[in-house]
Amino acid sequence: MFEQTLRNSIGRKRVGVVWFVASAVLVFFSEVAVLPAGAVTIDAFGEAFGSVLDNLMTNYWSEEENGDWMYDEFYPCGGYDAPQYSTELLYQMAWHFEEPDPIYADRADRTVGYVIEMAKILPLLQKIVAGGDITEEGASLPALLYGHRYYSGPLTYSFDTELPLLVLLSGTLMKQGTPLSEELNGYSGPAVVAYYGLILSYTFRDQGSASVAGLLARQAYELFDLTGPYWIQVTEDAGYFYDPAGGSNSIWAQALAVQALALAYQSSGKSSYLDRLLDMLGYLEGHWDESAPYGYCDIYGYCGSKTLSVNHLMAKALLILYDATGEREWLERAQQTIGFMTDAVILKEDARFPGFSIIRHDWSPGYDETCSCSGCNFAVLAVIFMYNRLEQEGPKGLDLLPTCVIATSTMGAGMAGKIEILRQFRDRHLLTNPMGASFVNKYYQYGPPVAEYIAKREWLKAIVRILLLPLIGFVTLLV
């Protein structure tokens, strides 16, 4: 009925006005595919970045070249997560670095291939349902998320079906109170699933699958509702999560929640996520070491230990928060945190490979300095890359999910610059006031089905393409 009515109306004189208004309603506030990043240069922390990357690429790549990064040899220090963090860094190096090298993409692809073989989805799900601990496999699974976006290796893997199925099923288990591992229970488990669910949602959004993106995003936000009973408000501006089942409010688990809340705020614009995040940062000030080199301590009130895993999580969370808000205080705190992780007290010569540098896993009196974590080292380098990108490109602000991608599906990649103008108008003039934000939220609620309807009909896409041009011209005057 809708299509027939629309066809009958094409011959009317008012069709131009009708479709201009319709396209404005449908497209004005549409989220679009992430634009390709520019060539990022490693200006800040470049010496540490280069020396550690050289070590990892030269000495930590396994002789079998199978993508495991020798992680099993470093397990006592937590090195089993190298496949996770190596792909996050290397795919960026392959696509957005000032000096791209085919070796980065090749090794990232090999790593994703290793994870595909190691963590078969069906056996992994069976292990979860049976109550098994999947810490080792789970730490590597995020590599598949980056592989979904970039992988070009020889293995056949159903990224589009098995990955969202895994995330959705993991979320369902968390809702039922089933922990994914001994470490990921209470509030930290839902936070981790929500965080990676949002990353996957962005990938589907960018590839034009608005319905899947919306489904994953909605589950992610539902998972945050599970964390409510674990919240403790210490003062008006400070609070933290406590897990009575795990008997812990560890700084590592807090850092996971901070990172997840930062991305939840950027992807939704909901003030409730930002408020809780700021309260957590208020509480975590008690873990901040006021003496140089600055960093987050594992113990509240005094600094007997500063671990790499806590600080790279906190640094990334702060960078996401800066990216979403544009407030430089968060960028500066992230800079200080990275400064600790590249300081001489923790960046040492690698005992296994003399002449090469490695970042130690822990800074504390009497700690074994030969203990390092290849995964955490990759994570630090990924944070340094993100820091430099934000300094050079600036923050993008809120990047809301789910999205309709009407403009991208109708105009194609060649219109990326013009579509960006529409997004800037939404961020600057609509999300900054209650009425505009309410309109955007309603659009995201009802827009995806309309977007998919248009995307399947070439004649309708052609009309939208024509009518977008004057709309973009008008919006250009306002941004």
Q: What is the DSSP string of 65-110?
A: -SS-TTGGGGGGGTGGGHHHHHHHHHHHHHHHBSS--HHHHHHHHH
Please name the amino acid found at residue 185. N
* The two structure tokens encoding residue 271: 């003030």
State residue 97's pLDDT score. 92
Closest CA to 350 of 114, 77, 108: 77
152-161, 177-186, 290-299: segment of lowest average pLDDT: 177-186
| pLDDT band per the 50, 70, 90 thresholds, residue 386 | very high
Instruction: Report if pTM > 0.85.
Output: no
Backbone region of residue 65 per phi and psi (left: phi > 0; alpha: psi in -120 to 50; beta: other values): left
How far is Cα 75 from Cα 71, in angstroms, rounded to an integer? Answer: 7
Using the predicted structure, report yes or no on whether residue 9 has a pLDDT greater than 80: no
| pLDDT band per the 50, 70, 90 thresholds, residue 449 | low
What one-character-per-residue DSSP string does 377-437 give? HHHHHHHHHHHHHHHHH-------SS---HHHHHH-GGGHHHHHHHHHHIIIIITTSHHHH
DSSP 8-state symbol, 353: S
**Any idea where the domains of the chain sit in the sequence?**
2-31+410-476, 46-393
Top-confidence residue, 202 or 32: 202
Cis bond before residue 470 (omega within 30° of 0): no
* The two structure tokens encoding residue 43: 């200006």
The dihedrals phi and psi of 100, each to the nearest 5 degrees, come to: -65, 145
State residue 31's pLDDT score. 30
* The two structure tokens encoding residue 342: 């590249």
DSSP three-state, residue 289: coil
State residue 67's pLDDT score. 87
Q: How many CA atoms lie less than 13 Å away from 116 in the CB half-sphere? A: 22
State residue 28's pLDDT score. 31
* The two structure tokens encoding residue 396: 């993008």
How far is Cα 14 from Cα 137, in angstroms, rounded to an integer? Answer: 60
| pLDDT band per the 50, 70, 90 thresholds, residue 455 | low
**Residue 307's beta-bridge partner residues?**
362
Average pLDDT over residues 279-293: 93
Compute the C-alpha angle 157/161/162, nearest 5°.
65
Distances (CA, A) of 395 to 315, 387, 398: 15, 10, 9
Per-residue burial over 341-360, b if 16 or more Cβ lie within 10 Å, else e, is: bbbeebbeebeeeeebbbbb
Distances (CA, A) of 167 to 146, 174, 393, 401: 14, 11, 31, 16
CATH of domain 46-393: 1.50.10.10
Average pLDDT over residues 177-198: 86
Say what percent of the chain tops pLDDT 90: 42
DSSP three-state, residue 153: coil
**Residue 6's beta-bridge partner residues?**
none
Average pLDDT over residues 42-65: 94
The dihedrals phi and psi of 453, each to the nearest 5 degrees, come to: -60, -45
Question: Distance between the two ends of the chain, CA-based, in angstroms?
Answer: 38
Please name the amino acid found at residue 438. S
| pLDDT band per the 50, 70, 90 thresholds, residue 444 | low
The dihedrals phi and psi of 436, each to the nearest 5 degrees, come to: -65, -40
What one-character-per-residue DSSP string does 162-174 give? HHHHHHHHHHHHH
State residue 298's pLDDT score. 87
Distances (CA, A) of 129 to 117, 124, 161, 222, 279: 20, 9, 20, 21, 35
How far is Cα 297 from Cα 303, in angstroms, rounded to an integer? Answer: 5
Top-confidence residue, 298 or 391: 391
Compute the C-alpha angle 20/24/28, nearest 5°.
155
